[in-house]
Structure 1
Amino acid sequence: MSLDSAVPLPECPELPAEAVRVPVEPGRGPAVLDRVRELAALLDEVPEVVHQLGDGQVESLTQVLLRLHGRSAQVAAVVTADAVDRGTVASSTAANTTQWVCRHAEASGVPIEPAEAKSIAVVTEACRERKNAVIAAAVARGPCTVSTARAALTNADKVTPVIPTAGRSEVLAWFLQLDPALGARGVQALTRKILATYATEALSVQDAKLEQVETLTWARLPPG
């Protein structure tokens, strides 16, 4: 199969409007912040009252907690991107975005793994670039975890060069259409499959072009 006849990638999801932010409700930000703080305080009470819940309630609570676990990292990336845009990170004493995230995690009283802080920072910086708008939208809306987003961003740089018929947004869209349960490993597995399928062919195409322009000239040199 030639690169020109490669299997078409999935259609690119609709990109968000260019730098247009419409608040859900004027002045609602402070109220949302207060509610989030209240929720965080309630979480600390859960270990003491979980035994008071029935089986169905425990299952419901588990679902809510797991949603909060994944969603909070996504929202943290969105909020951190806003902090970078408005200069909050630059004006702080943090050396970089990763350190800024780590310091706020420490201040919250809940430790965060360095790798997770790094992922949030990487996704934050990448989502500020228009070329990664597909990932930014997926993280903001919820269907893409931070770790999957980071893996997609990293592997897109490996895949795009070997499929010249596809743009970066299309490659990212391909990763996003994987089963979310596969996570970052799914992205890495798909990357290996794409490279195994197309990288060798791309190299063969390059070699063929070189053969067309290569010439060999024989010349008899004087003795010595």
Structure 2
Amino acid sequence: MRAERREETAAALRERLRAADAMIDVPDGLWERVREPRRDVTPVTAHAGGESRLRRRPLPMAVIAVAAAAVALVLCGTWWLVAPSIGPGTVQGAAADPSSGSSDAQKDSGPITLRVHNVEKACQKLRTLECALRVARSPYEPYADPGNSAGRTWHGDKLTATCVVTDGQLVTDEKGVSSRRWYRVEKAGGGGGGKGFEGWLPGVRTRNSTEVRLCSGDERPPGYGS
């Protein structure tokens, strides 16, 4: 893929250079004047010692402009050819690292894995009922409603998230962090007797840094927009 990308960049550069070359208006007779012997140096008699020094006439502005344009094209072309192969850790626009949330591949990606986060340090190593976090049936119903429960999860658990809504019930964790983001998640039943479930995890119960697509209307639970 890197070789193909480099070839595509080189082809695009060649097109840009040809277009830029066609836009440069070369003054009439420039190349003939360049090939002719220098006539812009005239001797000037110095002081009484008989020594002479040379005085050079300034170059025409047209020659200076053409030379500056040529240098700029060479520098830009060199950067374009080198940039795609700087190194695997370099982020360049749309060709960024696939782990970055800004790439197009991430926008079209499927489910991602979320890690549950409990801000209460005393509960981060315990899997007791007191330390369980609720996965709700709906992000549009009160989180504390006893009937709004799809399952339990604990700090460090991994859940599969398919999409996110950003207009759910406002939830505030024990540290005062609030969010209306809710992730549609599911967890398969584990071999150790753990039960699987599908539901909605409040955004404050994870520390996700990966872009997740917005849920479509069909993926939202009843109660949306009511």
TM-score by length of 2: 0.21
Of structures 1 and 2, the one with the larger relative CO (CA 8 A, separation 6+) is 1
Higher helix share: 1
Q: Which structure has more strand as a fraction of its residues? A: 2
